Amino acid sequence: MKAKVAMTFVCALFLVPLTSGCWDRREINDIAFVTAAAADITQDNHYRVTIQVPLPGKISDVGQKGGGGGSSGNKAYFLDSTIGDTFRAANAKQQNAMSRQLYFSHMRVFVFGEDLARENIASPIDVMSRIPQNRMTTYLLVSSGPAADLLNAQATMEKTPAEFLRELANESMIHPRTVKRVTEALLAEGQDPIMPVVSWTTTKPGDAGDAQTNLKLNGLAIFQKKKLVAMLSGRAADGVLWAMGEFRRPLITIPAKNGSGFVSVMVTSYHVRTTVKPTQDGRMVCQIQARVTGTLSENTSNLTYERSQNLASLERQASQAVTDDMRIAVDQLQRLHADPIGICNRVYRNYPGYWHRVKHNWRDEFYPNIPVQIDAQVEIRNSGNATSPVGIPEEELQS
């Protein structure tokens, strides 16, 4: 009897591979790994979805030796762009023209075209959170101009533009904007999302070389919830990053006294505190305090910064520069009625009762009128290994 049961069990085991059919089985070489996707909107309100699929045979030296075969062509990646009513519809169309199954788990970057971002970023994000293959850690970027173009840049530094974009996104902020962070910002009260902007450039080394298309970070995309309202760049963008405490490896460059050159301060660490508190007369005041520590990294003036008043004045100048950056940024943001810093979110969290009184029209009435006090203190711990300009004789130095 026991033997019979055992035999039945063994027979059943043998059936498992046949009946279950390994329904999810897909070999790694039957998969098209999408590493970057871009979304644009067409004139007639359809989505144009562009995906980048690296060709494994091209991208890695492994497996080149034997057997040959695999992917062919010049580029290390395959780019496909289709139009559809929804993302999935566009993807389905792409799938029809593919020998391998599209696979989104390894999508590291998603780029919104400028037009689409001005329209609505919420619906593409819906796809990302709905399909389990997509990851919440995918970096989000906004392109200035059509997003599809970004995926076609040469970006020779990496093997594919996708990788290049991923590294750019990773460098853009201390906490790069991922699907998770943007979704959080979209859902939070009194908070707007923000994303880095990437644009095309051409680099041309001198007159001789061929021009190459490249990609660069170019400021910040400011949103009002799901709609892009402006792209900031330059000092305003820096100021936003300062105020958010998201500035990655900031460098403060300021003119030296007497207009004789410039001084760069490399920031080694900094801390930004944003607080809100109600005043006596029932208004809300915001205070942004930045404590910055840095070292002197370059000095093109003839001033020496060793044990002298110059260092103190340099600290003052640098503090002023950071304060100015933030001031420009906050003024701009208040004018744009967008709050990526989350000032209103802090009101909501700390003074919920107050927030409920003002929240019905916070974006247009409450937020633009909050007085923001900005205070930055730069401390220069180390005046650099070469305190005085190296190339200038000692007697010409001003202390």
Partner 1 sequence: MSGRVLIRRRRRRPTESVRGPEQQGTELDASTPLEIEGGSSYAASCEIPISDHLHDNLTMMLKVFSDCSDLQVRHLCVGHKRDACMLYLSGLVNPADLSEEALRPLIYDFQASDEHVIDWLSPDKIRDEGVLLARVGRADTFRKAIDGIVDGRAALFVDGVSQAVLLSTSGPERRSISEPETESVVRGPREGFTEDLSVNIALLRHKIRTPQLKAHSFTLGTYTKTAVLLVYIEDLADPKVIAEAKRRISSIEIDGVLESGYIEELIEDQPMSPFPQFQYSERPDTIAAQLLEGRFAIFTEGTPFVLIAPVTWWQFVQASEDYYERFFLVYLVRVLRYISLFLALFLPAMYIAVTTYHQDMLPTSLVMSVAAARESIPFPAIIEALIMELTFEALREAGIRLPKAVGQAVSILGALVIGQAAVEAGIVSAPMVIIVAITGIASFTLPRYNAAIAIRLLRFPMMLLAAVLGMFGIVIGVMWISIHLCKLRSFGVPYLSGLAPYKRKEVKDLFFRPPWWKMVFRPSSFAHHNRKRMAERQMPGPDKRSGSRGGAR
Residues near partner 1, by CB under 8 A: 16-17, 20, 22, 24-29, 31, 33, 35, 54, 56-57, 59-71, 103, 105-106, 108, 133, 135
Residue among 123, 191, 147 at smallest CA distance from 42: 147
In the complex, least distance from residue 94 CB atom to partner 1, rounded to whole angstroms: 19
Kindly tell me which of 28 and 390 has the beta carbon lying closer to partner 1.
28
Kindly tell me which of 56 and 239 has the beta carbon lying closer to partner 1.
56
Kindly tell me which of 10 and 312 has the beta carbon lying closer to partner 1.
10
Return the half-sphere exposure (C-beta side, CA atoms, 13 A cut-off) of residue 383: 18
Between the alpha carbon of residue 180 and those of residues 95, 128, 141, 216, 305, the distances in Å are 27, 10, 13, 23, 45
Kindly tell me which of 5 and 62 has the beta carbon lying closer to partner 1.
62
Assign residue 45 a region: left if phi > 0, alpha if psi is -120 to 50, beta otherwise?
A: left
Pairing of strands 36-41, 372-382: unpaired
Kindly tell me which of 103 and 200 has the beta carbon lying closer to partner 1.
103
Kindly tell me which of 71 and 253 has the beta carbon lying closer to partner 1.
71
Kindly tell me which of 110 and 305 has the beta carbon lying closer to partner 1.
110
In the complex, least distance from residue 3 CB atom to partner 1, rounded to whole angstroms: 9
Kindly tell me which of 135 and 349 has the beta carbon lying closer to partner 1.
135
Kindly tell me which of 105 and 260 has the beta carbon lying closer to partner 1.
105
Side chain identity, residue 227: K
In the complex, least distance from residue 174 CB atom to partner 1, rounded to whole angstroms: 22
In the complex, least distance from residue 71 CB atom to partner 1, rounded to whole angstroms: 7
Side chain identity, residue 327: R
Kindly tell me which of 60 and 382 has the beta carbon lying closer to partner 1.
60
In the complex, least distance from residue 47 CB atom to partner 1, rounded to whole angstroms: 24
Helix (H) or strand (E) holding 288: strand 284-299
Residue among 327, 336, 142 at smallest CA distance from 239: 327
Q: What is the DSSP letter of 394?
A: G
Between the alpha carbon of residue 328 and those of residues 163, 249, 267, 336, the distances in Å are 33, 20, 20, 12
**Does residue 165 contact residue 150 with C-beta atoms inside 8 Å?**
yes
Residue among 237, 242, 104 at smallest CA distance from 179: 104
In the complex, least distance from residue 168 CB atom to partner 1, rounded to whole angstroms: 16
In the complex, least distance from residue 365 CB atom to partner 1, rounded to whole angstroms: 46
Residue among 24, 17, 91 at smallest CA distance from 51: 91
Helix (H) or strand (E) holding 315: helix 309-336
In the complex, least distance from residue 77 CB atom to partner 1, rounded to whole angstroms: 11
Give the Cβ contact number of residue 277 at 10 Å.
12
How far apart are the C-alpha atoms of 269 and 191, rounded to whole Å? Answer: 26
**Does residue 233 contact residue 197 with C-beta atoms inside 8 Å?**
yes
In the complex, least distance from residue 167 CB atom to partner 1, rounded to whole angstroms: 12
**Does residue 212 contact residue 188 with C-beta atoms inside 8 Å?**
no
**Does residue 288 contact residue 274 with C-beta atoms inside 8 Å?**
yes
Return all residues near 130 (Cβ < 8 A) that are at least 6 apart. Answer: none
List the end-to-end C-alpha distance of the chain, in Å, as a whole number. Answer: 102
In the complex, least distance from residue 103 CB atom to partner 1, rounded to whole angstroms: 7
Kindly tell me which of 130 and 335 has the beta carbon lying closer to partner 1.
130
In the complex, least distance from residue 61 CB atom to partner 1, rounded to whole angstroms: 8
